[in-house]
Amino acid sequence: MAAEDDKALIRRFYEEVWGKGNVGVADEVFAPDYVRHDLRAGAAAPGLEGQRRIAADFRAAFPDRRWEVDLLIAAEEFVVGRWTASGTHLGR
């Protein structure tokens, strides 16, 4: 995949899953054997189900969330993104 295609895939993930709450798009942009690595407290469900659950939980906690992709940089098989999110936390 070319760098611009990689960036478009990541942008779609950010905008659809995180920005609009279309968690089903995760099934289209992640490989079935996807493994999540992050510093989140606790353990999310593995694979795509975990990614869908995390996005749905954030949507419940911040229902008016706004998500802006500030920057995407691609090199080889890597894409790095910077984004800004804002919203009202409902304590969920």
pLDDT tens track for 42-55 = 766 777 888 888 88
β-strands 66-75, 78-86: how paired?
A: antiparallel
Domain assignment present for residue 92? The answer is no
CB-based contact 36:50 (threshold 8 Å): yes
**Token reading at 75:** 């090199």
CATH of the domain at 60: 3.10.450.50
Q: Taking a C-beta distance cutoff of 8 angstroms, is the pair 34, 47 a contact?
A: yes
Classify residue 49: in a domain, yes or no.
Answer: yes
Q: How many structural domains are present in the chain? A: 1
pLDDT tens digits, 56-76: 888 888 989 888 999 999 998
Question: pTM for the complete prediction?
Answer: 0.79
Q: By residue range, what is the domain housing residue 74?
A: 3-86
Residue 91 maps to a domain: no
